[in-house]
Structure 1
Amino acid sequence: MLDVRSIWNGAVSFGLVSVPVKLVNATESHSISFRQIHTEDGGRIRYRKFCELEDREVSGAEIGKGYEDADGSIIPVTDEDLAHLPLPTAKTIEIVAFVPGERIDPLQMDAAYYLAASGAPAAKPYTLLREALKRSNKVAIAKFALRGRERLGMLRVVGDAIVMHGLLWPDEVRAPEGVAPETDVTVRDKELDLADALMDTLGEIDLEDLHDEYREAVEEVIAAKAAGEAPPEAPEPAKGGKVIDLMAALESSVRAAKESRGEQPAEVREFPRRRTSRSAPKEPAGKKSTAKKPTAKSTQTGKKTAATKSTAKSTTKKTAARKTTSRKRSA
């Protein structure tokens, strides 16, 4: 049982089943509140309530409710008058239907309340309603009266508890006329692909990791001034250029999102172009040729070979001459 004060006592009407419950706020505000002060001397500014007829200040116990009629006259309405309204929802949360949760427009969602079982007799019907909601995968639509007016509510299960969300009446939600741009715009597939990539890069987040940075910054300012120190200076806002090219803005957003998540984008390097000419490169000036020169040994070998060939020719001629002379003598 939550250690908070209930704001409403009654019962949940589930057909002929009645579940005694207490209504407890399911949310709380952590925002920092300020007092109005006189800037010259720091004195508190207070609003005092005066009676126009008696021209005197009145206490809270003397203040009641009144309805101002069209002619300006005031019609007093007491808490007892409101308690005896001819409505079944005055002290009862009357369930009127069970519908799938997706049928509820989030625009209708209002404050949330825990329904706490009131006493031991409420344990069995409370558990019955909770388990019936779980098994049906539906939510209950109910009507109830709170703070002087009848309201619409939605009951659903959170853990082992039943939660009731206040809902706005359908006619209290404004139609979104004139909100969307009236100019005809064409979105290209490439732009949608980049938008999808940005969504995938940002990914999901655990809502438990989110916190109110504004409130923390205000607390730092208050702590610094209370200690007589200068409040911390605000960092310079990032300079945002005008969005001229939507594609470039999307690409930059994807790149920045990846870097913030520690992902290094692939580095694109431009390699030098290959030469198309196959001509041999020119030798630099002054560089000696690498062709081998004939050595002295190879020159002498060449001369000896030539001399040997010349001797062989002369021997052949002498042999031929001797054969000719011999033939003549024999004749």
Structure 2
Amino acid sequence: MRSIWNGAISFGLVSIPIKLVNATESHSVSFRQIHTEDGGRIRYRKVCELEDREVTQAEIGKAYEDADGSMIPITDEDLSQLPIPTARTIEIVAFVPEDRIDPLQMGSAYYLAASGAPAAKPYTLLREALKRSNRVAIAKFALRGRERLGMLRVVGDAIAMHGLLWPDEVRAPEGVAPEGGVTVRDQELDLADALMDTLGEIDLDDLHDEYREAVEEVVAAKASGEKPPEAREEAAPGKVLDLMAALESSVRAARESRDGEGAGPAEEAEVRSLSRRKTSSRAPKETGGKKSTSTAAKKTAAKRAEPKKSTAKAAGSAKKTAAGSPAKGTAKKATARSTARSGDKGAAKSTAKKTASRRRSA
């Protein structure tokens, strides 16, 4: 592998000559720009805007553009004289547990290769020390015109270095999480755990770039004069389900896929939380069938008719009472008259007896 940087690891008073090589490579399919009418390549030429002519690479340097638009030339010699110790050195500043490093900080990955036979012993010493301590080394180094932060760790029998972002370059996740008090029920968490257990683990070596493979198939077909393969039809969105139904469907599909039952692809479901129904303070209405409705109507009509019947009875009684009252009054008057007459006759008899007795005495 071709090295992109040569320097040394500074480990206290120990210096380890190393070469920096890329640990990753891109397999993306790259395209060129062409003129659609005749297929000619589109090229960009480097032109000096003052002289309006194309210049060679040897004539090109670098400069810093000031706020007023003026250019301040900076040469490689100026940068080589920078007063920083990490210009050609990977300076280890600390050893920390690996879980202290936020994955958001990780960037490009490199391998550190020992440069020459004298570097073999100190290189192995650092590697074994990292293994036994279960820690990683934090280092500073300069690359491509700027000082960078790195993390050294053991990968197999080699030492790898991950470029790290400076802490102030990592943005806080403000405004990312959903707003409002969203609650998750225990049943939903249980289903999510079941789905995670069902999906299980996977060998990362089994994963591949399907998009890149499809692009390569299109390029190969066009190169051989064949018709490019047709695009796969996208699965139609499934029914709108609530969160619990979507989780249950996912668990069922994952189990069928794991058991190899040959089931087709699971239906995709849009997850929508069910809104709570508004409760009314009014008493629930009876929603029976036609029979119950007619029965209720009859009962209501009967209740309404009852007051009328009682009113009619009361009216009849009142009429009877009114009709019977004069007779009773007349009878009372006749009784009073006869009583008065009897009283007058008795009084007259008693008076006559008293008069007769007085005459006899005289």
TM-score (norm 1): 0.77
Partner amino acid for 2:73? P
Q: Which amino acid aligns with 1:5?
A: R
Inter-partner Cα distance in structure 1 for 2:174 and 2:82: 37
The CA deviation string for residues 106-154 of structure 1, in whole angstroms up to 9 with x for no partner, is 0000000000001001011111111111111000000000000000000
Distance 1:49 1:244 in 2: 58
Q: Which runs of 5+ in 2 are unaligned?
A: 263-362
Deviations 1:184-218 (A, max 9, x none): 21111111111111111111000011111111000
Q: Could you say which residue in structure 1 is the equivalent of 2:90?
A: 93
Equivalent runs, 1:56-67 vs 2, <5 Å: 56-67=53-64
Alpha-carbon shift at residue 60 of structure 1 (Å) = 1.5
Cα offset for 1:243?
A: 4.0
Q: Distance in 2 between matches of 1:105 and 1:242?
A: 39
Uncovered stretches (5+) of structure 1, i.e. residues with no partner: 266-331
What's the offset of the Cα at 1:241?
A: 2.8
Describe the SS at the equivalent of 1:261: helix
Structure 2 CA distance for partners of 1:120 and 1:101, relative to 1, 3 Å: same
Corresponding residue to 1:202 among 199, 203, 227: 199
Return the structure number with greater relative CO, CA threshold 8 A, min gap 6: 1
Residues 254-263 or 143-152, more deviating? 254-263
Letter in 2 for 1:62: E
- The structure that is helix-richer by fraction is 2
In the alignment, is residue 182 of structure 1 matched against residue 183 of structure 2? no
Residue pairs, 1:1-331, within 5 angstroms: 4-241=1-238, 243-263=240-260
> One-letter code of the match for 2:237?
G
Q: CA deviation at 1:264?
A: 5.0
SS of residue paired to 1:7: strand
Cα deviation, 1:259-316, whole Å, max 9, x if unaligned, reads: 2223559xxxxxxxxxxxxxxxxxxxxxxxxxxxxxxxxxxxxxxxxxxxxxxxxxxx
Question: Percent same amino acid at aligned positions?
Answer: 85
1:221-271 Cα deviation digits (max 9, x unpaired): 001111111111111111123543111111111111122223559xxxxxx
Count the aligned residue pairs. 262
TM-score, structure 2 normalization: 0.71
Over aligned residues, Cα RMSD in angstroms? 1.2
Structure 2 distance, partners of 1:257, 1:58, is: 61
